[in-house]
A and B are shown apart, each in its own frame.
Chain A
Amino acid sequence: MKPAPFEYYRAYAPAEVVELLTGLGDEAKVLAGGQSLVPMMNFRLAHPAALVDINAIAELDYVRREGDSLRIGALTRHRTLELSRAPEVQDGFSLLPRAARWIGHYPIRSRGTVGGSIAHADPAAEWCLLARLYDADVVVLGGQGTRVVPSADWFTGFLSTVAATNDVVTEVRFNRPRAFGALTEYARRRGDFAIAAAAVAFDVVDGRCRDVSIVLGAVAGEPLRVTEAEALVEGAEPAAPTWAAAARIAAAAIRPNADTYGGERYRRHLVDTLIQRAFAEAFASDASVSAASGIR
């Protein structure tokens, strides 16, 4: 349960990370919060020849609003978002602090980072679901400079992304703010990886659901948008029968993976339940907005 030997480098600026990674080659990894990488190293499932520690790059720790886009620096800890009551977060992205509470436990959240989670690309990870839910862009610095990758193109399968070995994630931009949102999960123990997870976001305009997103976690190699179910909710009344119909369609539309924690049928059942719960919680989550627009 000790990691294999490796070389340690500390970077003080994003460009220095790319420079180091380029020089070190394929066997080097970025060390952010280390809450996934270090357990894998302790288990010897991962044995990078070198680590480039980015924890000293204070300029990557920020939360900023630019118009409809919420920009979160890659080194921002989960806990920072969990505790944020800032208007730039609450306005349209109030789900992010609520969803962050699902991440592991308190000491995991005080160390783990948003960028690290997106780069690790676990299909059960809350930030990966949220990235797809809010059509996030992943900002990456690499050998050719900065590029902006839509989250729809970012994930390429289980723990896999389009990132090159000398790329470092510098920012995650959450787009498409919505008044209503919820993320819910099921796991055997508090803080465990979800056996299934569901996240929803939508607006309500003139008593109808608009701009609907539904994303599922831990049922495929990457977080999954369920467009069939989104289409059903779009324009429908925000009420329990709508949620139930959408949940049924989503459960039927997916081909969930089976593992020790649950078979295909069990995961379909969980997805059905979790989507209904997520919609109900989301619609209850912003009473002030719903009261103001007279939809209750």
Chain B
Amino acid sequence: MKDQHLVTIEVNGREHELLLDARRTLADTLREDLGLTGTHLGCEHGICGACTVLLDDQPVRSCLVFGVQADGHQVRTVESLADGDQLSDLQQAFSDHHGLQCGFCTPGFLMLAEAYLETEPEGGPQEVREVLSANLCRCTGYQGIVEAVTVVAADRREKAAVTQRAGDA
């Protein structure tokens, strides 16, 4: 028995029309149907966070959402971060602070951190750690990841303040 649905999903600003099995997870939709293999699958039951993507700007485990549920919604994956060969500030910070290690968990951490940073947080060390506790890194290299996110939070706040001052002047 196959229960198939025709859906329209906007992924990284581009609309896709897809015919999906009901049981197809959003993670598999992205990887298998759209070839966006930047989204990784670790545990497939919501523990590891490697498959974290943004669904209407909210971070979700894409292994716990079905592709058909994204019909009419917007999805952002790790592929949306860089501009061509130009890394985003967050990606560059992961590299600068040795937050990458083997790289398997990186896409999930990047999208989790991107969602958090877009809420314009204070970015205190305790809060950053609490947010990042959502995902697992089996290289156990959390320190570099925490540093990268903390630095970007401070940089973006600084930039927002400068823009604000320029706007006021």
List chain A positions with a Cβ less than 8 A from chain B.
1-8, 31, 34-35, 38-39, 42-43, 51, 53, 55, 79, 104-108, 110-111, 190-191
Q: Is B46's CB under 8 angstroms from A5's CB?
A: no
Cβ–Cβ < 8 Å partners of A53 in chain B = 69
Q: Could you give 14 example pairs across A and B, Cβ below 8 Å?
A: A1-B43, A2-B25, A2-B28, A6-B3, A7-B1, A8-B22, A8-B66, A31-B69, A34-B65, A34-B66, A107-B49, A110-B59, A110-B60, A190-B130
Cβ–Cβ < 8 Å partners of B63 in chain A = 1, 38, 42
Q: Is B58's CB under 8 angstroms from A51's CB?
A: no
Q: How far is the CA of A111 from the CA of B64 in the complex (A)?
A: 9
Q: Is B61's CB under 8 angstroms from A6's CB?
A: no
Chain A min CB distance to B121 (Å) = 11
- Counting chain B CB atoms within 10 Å of each CB, which of A3, A5, A38 scores highest? A38
Q: Is B3's CB under 8 angstroms from A105's CB?
A: no
List chain B positions with a Cβ less than 8 A from chain A.
1-3, 5, 21-23, 25, 28, 43-46, 49, 52, 55, 58-61, 63-66, 68-69, 112, 115-116, 130-131, 133-135
Q: Is B45's CB under 8 angstroms from A107's CB?
A: no
Cβ–Cβ < 8 Å partners of B60 in chain A = 107, 110-111
Q: How far is the CA of A3 from the CA of B49 in the complex (A)?
A: 18
Q: A107-B60, A111-B65 are in contact. Are A5 and B134 (CB under 8 A)?
A: no
Q: A108-B134, A191-B133 are in contact. Are A6 and B23 (CB under 8 A)?
A: yes
Q: How far is the CA of A111 from the CA of B59 in the complex (A)?
A: 8
Cβ–Cβ < 8 Å partners of B52 in chain A = 107
Cβ–Cβ < 8 Å partners of A6 in chain B = 3, 22-23
Closest to A43 in B: B45
Closest to A191 in B: B133
Question: Of A2, A55, A110, A191, which contacts B69 at CB under 8 A?
Answer: A55
Q: A8-B3, A39-B45, A106-B59 are in contact. Are A191 and B64 (CB under 8 A)?
A: no
Question: Of A5, A51, A107, which contacts B61 at CB under 8 A?
Answer: A107
Q: Is B134's CB under 8 angstroms from A107's CB?
A: yes
Q: Is B3's CB under 8 angstroms from A106's CB?
A: no
Question: Of A7, A34, A79, A190, which contacts B64 at CB under 8 A?
Answer: A34
